[in-house]
Structure 1
Amino acid sequence: MSNADLANLSDKLMLTTVVMYIIALVAYAADMGFGRRGAATAAEAKASEAKAAVSEKAAAKVLVGAGGAADVDDDAPAKAAAATDDDVDEERPQVDWPRLAILLNVLGVGAHLGVLVTRGLSANRWPWGNMYEFLTAISFAAVAAFIVVMFRYKARFLGAPVMFAAVIALGVANIWLYDSVGPVTPALNSYWIAIHVSAAITATGAFTVAGAATILYFLKLRVEARGPKTDDHGFLARVPSTESLDRLAMRVTMFAFPIWTAAIIMGAIWADQAWGRYWGWDPKEIWSFVTWIIYAAYLHARSTAGWKGRKAAFLSLLAFAALLFNFFGVNYMFSGLHSYA
């Protein structure tokens, strides 16, 4: 295939990826909203009805023993339970939302990988030389990190927020940031782009998953503050406790932080080779370091001061906000040596 054919294939795979992610987002949301929980609710209702029926039959037996005239079915409890099981099976949703969501998620991330591979082959370089490619790669890293976390920690509840973020990011990349395949500036023609930028992409994707867990933490905390029965209905009923979300955010952050640290160090080495200095107070360098400081403060406060819960989550959210500003705000609000990105 020619380079033009590979570039065209990359664009088509991008469309396929977005469609699969949107359907996966809907499936994850449906799973949280009324997936198998609907069957569980129906089961509880039928079980209550069965218990009421059994109680009525028991009362009838007492009356008969006292001389009352009544026909009592001794097999009523068994029949009621059987009827309950049959009714629940009939009312069980026909769509297996979790499997559909995971299947489309995995197929989508495969197509997403194809977007990056074909784009790189068509340009004969690493496929993150401009903002379109960089945001596409970060979206891939975030979805891939979510899949790992989902299977490792049974965190399917993160599917809806992570897929929503991925769909928005890819929409922004295609509508406002799209750039045709072409050469990059001379400063990017270095093997360091495969090391420094790859590390930054991987860390950003993992931080995005931790940020999604932190946002869910605050939503769940608000619901739990209203009372234990408040979240019986709605998508937050499928979200675990705030303690579990707090631990999950910390574990993912502990994975991403060393990678982000390595990205900053390797960026300094690359800067010395390209510009003759390790550090020049460029806006991108400053905000990358600010992001590192806040995440370091978050992990330090947890490990030494015993911070957890609301205070730790606030630091995590602040660090994620700095990360987003480092990507969007710095690239468009400031000019510097990283403006080509």
Structure 2
Amino acid sequence: MFFDYQFPILDVFFLFFAMILYWISFYFPKNSVLFQICTCLVIGSNFTFALTLLMRWIEEKYFPLSNLYESLIFLSWGISTIHLFLEFQTKSKIIGAIASPIVFFLSGFSSLTLPIEMQKALPLVPSLQSNWLMMHVTMMMISYATLIIGSLLSLLYLAFFSFSKRKEKRKEKNLEIQNFSISSSSSIETSSLPLPYSNFSLLQTVDLWSYRIIGLGFPFLTIGIISGAVWANEAWGSYWSWDPKETWALITWLVFAIYLHSRLLKGWQGKQAAILGSCGFFVIWICYLGVNFLGKGLHSYGWVL
């Protein structure tokens, strides 16, 4: 008998090969076939994630976001969907090269690391038998997927910025050597000097996409936190209890609120904004997985230590 939780095992292999081929394709920039294969592998994994969620929704009669395994599958689907959209818009291999390892890790962790008992669908506990389940958890997972991609682009910006700075310094040194050679030998023409190269266009594009995606994910996070507070009042009689998950969700919201405030009102761009966005990448993972395993609260999945 084939179970729905066995489908994502195929995605581990799809995403592994997609990740490797994305990296290889950088060494063969003119080979469009490799890029197309990568895209097809990600599309296949995206479809399988969606099929797993749909099957469980039909069989169990509730939206499949009630445990860690289901949330990992939904997050993998969300990140791969955003990845495919951006790849279609930009025609760039860079998005896949940074997004596919994240989804590969998530699918591998959910399918190969979690115990089978945690992967199986179970009846909803009373506190989860609410219409707020779909509203709250869906908004939170969509915001996580969106903000992860946006903050990942901020990290990419910092990496490109650092690389371009080092490259410019090396070129300045080479230019000084060549200028010295020209001054000492009249047989060398100045027209033979290499023209300066700038990565400004690439950096600007990465910075802009990071801003747009974070700006898209922030409202989802806001709606998710508000709906969670309403649900908490309905289930536990309190809108806010400073549960570790709630606290880190608020910290995550504040980090990205500061990021957007700095860009909109302070006019921050480039490196300054990217540093803030990069901080958000790590805060999201603490909020999503860290406190669930290492902290004891209403949202905990279990203890690791």
Find the counterpart in structure 2 of residue 245 from structure 1: 206
Larger Rg belongs to:
1
Find the counterpart in structure 1 of residue 135 from structure 2: 195
In the superposition, relative to structure 1, how do residues 154 and 96 fare at CA in structure 2: closer, same or farther (>3 Å)?
closer
> Structure 1 residues 154-163 or 310-319, which shifts more?
154-163
Conservation of the 8 A alpha-carbon contact between 1:138 and 1:205:
yes
Conservation of the 8 A alpha-carbon contact between 1:9 and 1:118:
no
For residues 4 and 240 of structure 2, what CA distance do their matches in structure 1 show?
A: 36
Q: Does 1:140 align with 2:77?
A: yes
- Measured after TM superposition, the shift of residue 227 of structure 1 is 2.2
Conservation of the 8 A alpha-carbon contact between 2:79 and 2:103:
yes
Identity %, equivalent residues: 27
Find the counterpart in structure 2 of residue 33 from structure 1: 27
- SS of the aligned residue for 1:35 comes to coil
Q: How many residue pairs get matched?
A: 273
Find the counterpart in structure 2 of residue 45 from structure 1: none
Residue type matched to 1:184 in 2? L
Find the counterpart in structure 1 of residue 88 from structure 2: 151
For residues 127 and 301 of structure 2, what CA distance do their matches in structure 1 show?
A: 9
Conservation of the 8 A alpha-carbon contact between 1:196 and 1:267:
yes
Find the counterpart in structure 2 of residue 308 from structure 1: 269
Query: How big is each residue's C-alpha offset from its partner over 1:133-185, in whole Å with a ceiling of 9 and x where there is no partner?
Result: 11111111111111112223334311011111001111111233341221132
Q: Which runs of 5+ in 1 are unaligned?
A: 37-92, 232-236
> Structure 1 residues 129-138 or 116-125, which shifts more?
116-125
For residues 105 and 230 of structure 1, what CA distance do their matches in structure 2 show?
A: 38
Find the counterpart in structure 1 of residue 147 from structure 2: 207
For residues 48 and 121 of structure 2, what CA distance do their matches in structure 1 show?
A: 18
Residue type matched to 1:293 in 2? L
Query: How big is each residue's C-alpha offset from its partner over 1:44-85, in whole Å with a ceiling of 9 and x where there is no partner?
Result: xxxxxxxxxxxxxxxxxxxxxxxxxxxxxxxxxxxxxxxxxx
- SS of the aligned residue for 1:34 comes to coil
Conservation of the 8 A alpha-carbon contact between 1:223 and 1:230:
no
- SS of the aligned residue for 2:121 comes to coil
Q: Does 1:103 align with 2:103?
A: no
For residues 130 and 106 of structure 2, what CA distance do their matches in structure 1 show?
A: 27
Find the counterpart in structure 1 of residue 300 from structure 2: 339
Aligned partner (choices 254, 275, 289) of residue 236 of structure 2: 275
- SS of the aligned residue for 1:33 comes to coil
**C-alpha RMSD of the superposition:** 2.3
In the superposition, relative to structure 1, how do residues 330 and 270 fare at CA in structure 2: closer, same or farther (>3 Å)?
same
**TM-score, length-normalised on structure 1?**
0.75
Residue type matched to 2:143 in 1? A
Find the counterpart in structure 1 of residue 121 from structure 2: 181
Find the counterpart in structure 1 of residue 12 from structure 2: 18
For residues 87 and 150 of structure 2, what CA distance do their matches in structure 1 show?
A: 12
Conservation of the 8 A alpha-carbon contact between 1:195 and 1:266:
yes
